[in-house]
Amino acid sequence: MRLQNRTALISAAAGPMGAAIARRFLDEGANVVLTDISERRLAAAAADLSDSASRERIVTVRADAQNRSESEAVVAAGQRQFERIDILINVVGGIRDTILNRPFLELSEERFIQTLSLNLLGTRNFVQLLVPGMQKAGWGKIVNIASISMAGEAGQADYAAAKAGVAALTRSLAAEFAPAINVNCISPALIQTSAVERMPAEQIRNYIERTLLKRLGRAEDIANAAAFLACDEAAYITGENLCVSGGIAPAL
């Protein structure tokens, strides 16, 4: 119960990764504030989590993390129920396109801007809303989700740039908010989520071959790393990028 008496806000909580993090945090004793852009998926995720904890320990608020007023509503609901929010897990991100890989010369301005916003703006909103309370309490943990694609990925220049931005933002925030708040990020390799369904089988095989462990990652692998970075066992870790990647080591 490493997160007993703590409250965590988790964005994109209805997806496989966010839901796995929520379940692990509930198992570790935390209260959770869950938000996702899909109200239907969010309700289903909360119902699925009800076997891990009483409903009183779970708050759900549908919101687009990129929208400031909707983000404010999430934070307000969490604070009404639990008084304070100690931990922020920024999961929201990805590529909103039916085709993941698009050559850079064919990359539209709309997708480029949309990808940067999706992966960075929600993080900016929740950090700005929650850090003052963490500073007042003298304790806080922020975990951002980047990607090994931050090192560059053909056909995903927009996504790679956005995730490199997440890693750089993490380091900057760690410097700004020290010593009271630890800020770290996790860079997954390919995780078994809905994104895999949009990828060619050959690309998936290539990913698996690049790993030392010869398998795709699981949402639970990310949840385990997030739980560690959010607890006091990681008190002397900040500004770090933890690669949960089966041995792939990204470098710019």
- The residues spanned by each domain of the chain are 7-244
Range scoring the smallest mean pLDDT among 8-17, 18-27, 80-89, 193-202: 193-202
Q: Where are the beta strands (DSSP E) in the chain?
A: 7-10, 31-36, 58-62, 87-90, 140-145, 181-188, 241-244
pLDDT mean over 29-41: 97
Domain 7-244 of CATH type 3.40.50.720: yes
pLDDT tens digits for 173-186? 999 999 999 999 99
Q: Is the pLDDT of residue 52 over 70?
A: no
Q: Is the pLDDT of residue 133 over 70?
A: yes
- For residue 193 the two structure tokens come to 């989520």
Cβ contact 163:179 at 8 Å: no
32 pLDDT band, cuts 50/70/90, is: very high
Amino acid at 104: F
pLDDT tens digits for 177-230? 999 999 999 999 999 887 787 788 888 898 899 999 999 999 999 999 999 999
Better-predicted residue by pLDDT, 98 or 109: 109
Buried b or exposed e, range 37-67, using 16+ CB within 10 angstroms = beeebbeebbeebeeebeeebbbbbbbbbbe
pLDDT mean over 145-166: 96
The yes-or-no answer on residue 159 being catalytic is: yes
Short-list 11, 68, 69, CA closest to 45:
11
Is the N-terminal amide bond of 179 cis, ω within 30° of 0? yes
121 pLDDT band, cuts 50/70/90, is: very high
Tell me the pLDDT of the chain averaged across its residues: 95
Using CA atoms, how far apart are residues 91 and 93, in angstroms rounded to an integer? 6
Among candidate residues 159, 161, 164, 248, the one labeled active-site is 159
